[in-house]
Amino acid sequence: MGGRYLVTGGAGYVGSHVVKALVDRGDEVVVIDDLRQGHRAAVPPSVELVSINLADRRQVADVFAGWKFDAVLHFAALSLVGESMRDPLRYCIDNLSNSLIVADAAVKSGCLRFVLSSTAALFGFPKRIPIDETADVAPVSAYGESKLMVERGLDWADQVHGLRSASLRYFNAAGADPSGQIGEDHDPETHLIPLAIGAAMGTRPPLTVFGTDYPTPDGTCIRDYVHVTDLADAHLRALTRLDRGSCRFNIGNGTGYSVKQVMDSVERISGKPVPHSLGPRRAGDPAVLVASSARLREETGWSPRFGALDDIVRTAWAWHSAHPKGFGDRG
């Protein structure tokens, strides 16, 4: 028999892929999403979508009172690093308080399993690559700090209330569901792969490469791109892992690709050039961020199906070329 799960932010990019994975395996899902960033069309019609603001404690408590959930998976958050440095207090206030409102409502309703969408931004400028779970947490953005505060709040909820949580620190989520039904549609879009694809398609301006003087083989930044379907699979495995207590996992492919390698991949897959210019570094960008997901692999048996960059870019290209306006629900 399937379980029943609450997914906050389930109409967003990673959240909607997790909702699909849960529904595909026969679970019942309720989504909370205020649809400021999320898309109605990203949620299967069979899934109940409750469009409320998480800051409204009473309404959040009402959702928990109406269903008995086996676990909550919490994605809804502000997630733009640059914006967080223009408005740090908003990020800290919103991300911390909304997350803890959800955790509090979960505890009070007797739902004691919580999966947190966390981030590699916790690690700031790491001392060692690949980054495993023992690395120092030292965020260099208010966004990273806000997620760290949530993780700490969840630790206390475990100690005092027995709320078991899995904090999943994603590296660079990328790609789209292989069915072609859902994919990445952010506004504003700041991520490299959709911007490079949009430049190749001519639906976005030429790409600016942020920095070519990094201490990397081709001078551009190296990141660990993990396919969103593999990320979704990690969430399902984390739910099972929670039976053994709280946990933290870094999630990436363990292989880094440079900005230039990503552009080359987009050119290979699309058969089109990626118009671009070379620009200065973006503030706060470390040269290399690559995850060690050894702990996730050992403890849950996870391994990525879409580890190769071309496989990731191929699914992203399929989504964007079939949906040049994304979900098409913006004015």
Known catalytic residues are: 143
* Residue choice 181, 208, 303, 321 for contact with ligand UDP (CB under 6 A): 208
* Residue choice 161, 282, 295, 297 for contact with ligand UDP (CB under 6 A): 282
For residue 11, give the nearest of 51, 36, 40 by alpha carbon: 40
Nearer to ligand UDP, 196 or 242 (CB): 196
Nearer to ligand UDP, 106 or 289 (CB): 289
Strands 113-119 and 164-170: parallel
Going residue by residue from 209 to 248, which x/- string records binding to ligand UDP, judged by CB under 6 A? xx----------x-x-------------------------
Cis peptide before 130 (omega within 30 of 0): yes
Counting contacts by CB under 6 A, is residue 51 touching ligand UDP? no
Structure tokens at 213: 């003087």
Counting contacts by CB under 6 A, is residue 22 touching ligand UDP? no
Window contacting ligand UDP (CB under 6 A); options: 10-18, 189-197, 247-255, 305-313 = 189-197
DSSP single-letter state for residue 247 = E
Going residue by residue from 285 to 304, which x/- string records binding to ligand UDP, judged by CB under 6 A? x-------------------
To the nearest whole angstrom, how small is the minimum distance from the Cβ of residue 23 to ligand UDP?
28
Cα gap 32→28, rounded to integer Å: 14
Q: Rounded to the nearest 5°, which phi and psi values hold at 174?
A: -155, 165
Counting contacts by CB under 6 A, is residue 83 touching ligand UDP? no
Nearer to ligand UDP, 80 or 100 (CB): 80
* Residue choice 21, 31, 232, 259 for contact with ligand UDP (CB under 6 A): 259
To the nearest whole angstrom, how small is the minimum distance from the Cβ of residue 238 to ligand UDP?
21
Counting contacts by CB under 6 A, is residue 172 touching ligand UDP? yes
Counting contacts by CB under 6 A, is residue 192 touching ligand UDP? yes
Nearer to ligand UDP, 279 or 328 (CB): 279
Counting contacts by CB under 6 A, is residue 274 touching ligand UDP? no
Cα gap 127→328, rounded to integer Å: 42
For residue 113, give the nearest of 297, 243, 260, 14 by alpha carbon: 243
User: Is the C-alpha dihedral spanning 181, 186, 192, 197 positive or negative?
Assistant: positive
Nearer to ligand UDP, 144 or 304 (CB): 144
Provide the H-helix boundaries in the chain: 13-24, 57-66, 81-86, 88-109, 142-161, 192-201, 228-241, 259-270, 294-300, 309-322
Nearer to ligand UDP, 3 or 284 (CB): 284
Helix/strand/coil percent split, the chain, to 5 = 40, 15, 40
Cα gap 77→84, rounded to integer Å: 12
Cα gap 157→326, rounded to integer Å: 38
Kindly list the residues in this chain that would bind ligand UDP in the complex (CB under 6 A).
172, 190-192, 195, 207-210, 221, 223, 259, 282, 285
